[in-house]
């Protein structure tokens, strides 16, 4: 299986621009039929030409599937990685990576602001297997350095922008801190997507994604991915994936591949709309703080401008009227749908303290209860602004 990403699919596009790779990497016409769209291969097993005589490297679909392989080629090209592995969910991807890298006694540095499910994986699952963690404000490289335990820190886990406070970590600075301690830098690139930021080109060792979000882009699939700078690490993660089995089905892999093709055009609109939403919120008397790295006053604005193509589609804000105000706004929008998740074409609103981040209540990662998070969609921006205006009035 090791060479199945090395064939015809991605190599022609490796020097192309991102938008071209999104459409073509891993997605050449099917050699057997000429179909211009990668087929959904549902077979669980593949005929062998004599024992061990695999036709295209495929034998059993947990170990490898052609639709999934096409997605992996695409994601590796988009992140400029050596190899990518597609998973059944973002957390399945994180879990496999952590089991490949950590051992009982390993220590990891995690962000003080992060996706709640990632924190739960460290605090409630890996902790039971002897993996210790320290939460640190990774937007401050000195705090990251101080959290490292030389000799036992196996990795620094970073999210940028963070969920839900949109803090920015300097990926190049964290890479040199991690490497100075012989640790890996892992970046959860879900919020930025590879269109806006490519952590491996800035020195990170591994990127993880919830492809459920911007890569899939249409709120119709759950998936994840690990992309590595080194083929050797990919092999270790692939071993865990095959041994433990958290693979995506072929239809799910196909949906993500379909989403990837329009990632650049969708992201451009997400970013443009989010910029206007952040401007409206910043000027509104009912709002006391807006978290959006595109605002010049955001503490991570300069780092974001340096390492990202644009500032993303996620905005969070705090209400002057406190938690009650936040809940009232969440109840009053008509176009922004009250729902968890993010990164789809439709705009969503949520209250992190009681929804996505309920699992971090009382932990160092607890979020303010007056906070509202928006996933700004690709609708006409005037309709979004009108909806927020009326909801803020109601709140
Ligand atoms: C959603 C999300 C995850 C988890 O992904 P699933 O696909 O839900 O398992 C991880 N990190 C971030 C930043 C997320 O938003």
Whether residue 245 is predicted with pLDDT greater than 50 in this model: the reply is yes
Residue nearest to atom 1 of ligand 1 (CA): 210
φ, ψ of residue 128 to 5 degrees: the values are -65, -20
Q: Which of 248-262, 347-361, 375-389 has the lowest mean pLDDT?
A: 347-361
Mean pLDDT of 48-63: 93
pTM of the model: 0.95
121 lines ligand 1 (CB under 6 A): no
212 lines ligand 1 (CB under 6 A): yes
Residue nearest to atom 12 of ligand 1 (CA): 115
Task: Please identify which residue in the block is written with the tokens 């963070």.
Answer: 162
Spatial contact of 352 and 371, defined as CB atoms under 8 Å apart: yes
Residue nearest to atom 2 of ligand 1 (CA): 210
Q: What is the pLDDT of residues 102-159, one digit of tens each?
A: 999 999 999 998 898 999 999 999 999 999 999 999 999 999 999 999 999 999 999 9
Q: Minimal CA–CA distance to 290: which of 271, 311, 317, 329?
A: 317
pLDDT at site 362: 83
Percent of the chain with pLDDT over 90: 91
Residue nearest to atom 4 of ligand 1 (CA): 90
Q: Which of 162, 194, 211, 212, when mutated, tests ligand 1's pocket best, judged by the most ligand atoms within 8 Å of its CB? A: 212
Q: Which of 91, 158, 208, when mutated, tests ligand 1's pocket best, judged by the most ligand atoms within 8 Å of its CB? A: 91
φ, ψ of residue 23 to 5 degrees: the values are -85, -30
Whether residue 301 is predicted with pLDDT greater than 80 in this model: the reply is yes
Mean pLDDT of the chain: 94
Q: Which residues does the annotation mark as catalytic?
A: 62, 115, 188, 213
Confidence of residue 363 (pLDDT cuts 50, 70, 90): confident
- Report the atom number in ligand 1 closest to the C-alpha of 92: 9
The b-or-e profile of 314-331 (16+ CB within 10 A means b, else e) is bbbbbbebebebbbbbbe
Q: What domains are defined for the chain?
A: 8-261 (3.40.640.10), 265-394 (3.90.1150.10)
In angstroms, what is the span from residue 115 Cα to ligand 1's centroid? 7
Spatial contact of 223 and 192, defined as CB atoms under 8 Å apart: no
φ, ψ of residue 39 to 5 degrees: the values are -70, 155
89 lines ligand 1 (CB under 6 A): yes
In angstroms, what is the span from residue 84 Cα to ligand 1's centroid? 17
Whether residue 41 is predicted with pLDDT greater than 90 in this model: the reply is yes
């Amino acid at each position: 299986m090791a060479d199945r990403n090395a064939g015809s699919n991605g190599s022609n596009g490796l020097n192309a621009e991102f938008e071209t790779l999104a459409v073509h990497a891993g997605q050449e016409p099917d050699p057997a039929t000429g179909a211009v769209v990668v087929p959904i291969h549902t077979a669980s097993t593949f005929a062998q030409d004599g024992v061990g005589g695999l036709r295209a490297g495929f034998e059993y679909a947990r170990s490898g599937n052609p639709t999934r392989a096409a997605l992996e080629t695409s994601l590796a090209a988009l992140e400029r990685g050596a190899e990518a592995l597609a998973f059944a969910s973002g957390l399945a991807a994180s879990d496999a990576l952590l089991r490949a890298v950590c051992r009982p006694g390993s220590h990891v540095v995690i962000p003080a602001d992060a996706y709640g499910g990632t924190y739960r994986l460290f605090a409630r699952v890996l902790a039971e297997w002897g993996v210790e963690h320290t939460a640190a404000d990774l937007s401050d490289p000195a705090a990251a350095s101080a959290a490292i335990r030389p000799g036992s820190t196996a990795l620094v886990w970073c999210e940028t922008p963070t969920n839900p406070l949109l803090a920015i970590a300097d990926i190049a600075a964290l890479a040199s801190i991690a490497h100075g301690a012989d640790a890996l830098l892992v970046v959860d690139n879900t919020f930025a997507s590879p269109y806006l930021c490519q952590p491996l080109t800035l020195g990170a060792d591994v990127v993880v994604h919830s492809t459920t979000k911007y890569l899939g882009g249409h709120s119709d699939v759950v998936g994840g991915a690990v992309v590595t700078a080194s083929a050797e690490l990919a092999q270790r993660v692939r071993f865990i994936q095959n041994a433990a089995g958290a693979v995506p089905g072929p239809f799910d892999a196909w949906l993500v591949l379909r989403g990837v093709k329009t990632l650049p055009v969708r992201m451009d609109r997400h970013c443009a709309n989010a910029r206007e939403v952040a401007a409206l919120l910043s000027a509104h008397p009912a709002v006391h703080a807006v978290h959006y790295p595109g605002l010049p006053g955001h503490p991570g604005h300069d780092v974001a401008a340096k390492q990202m193509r644009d500032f993303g589609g996620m905005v969070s804000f705090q209400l002057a009227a406190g938690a009650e105000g936040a809940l009232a706004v969440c109840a009053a929008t008509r176009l922004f749908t009250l729902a968890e998740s993010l990164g789809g074409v439709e705009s969503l609103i949520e209250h992190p303290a009681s929804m996505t981040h309920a699992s971090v209540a009382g932990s160092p990662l607890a979020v303010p209860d007056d906070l509202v998070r928006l996933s700004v969609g690709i609708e006409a921006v005037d309709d979004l602004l009108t909806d927020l205006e009326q909801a803020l009035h109601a709140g």
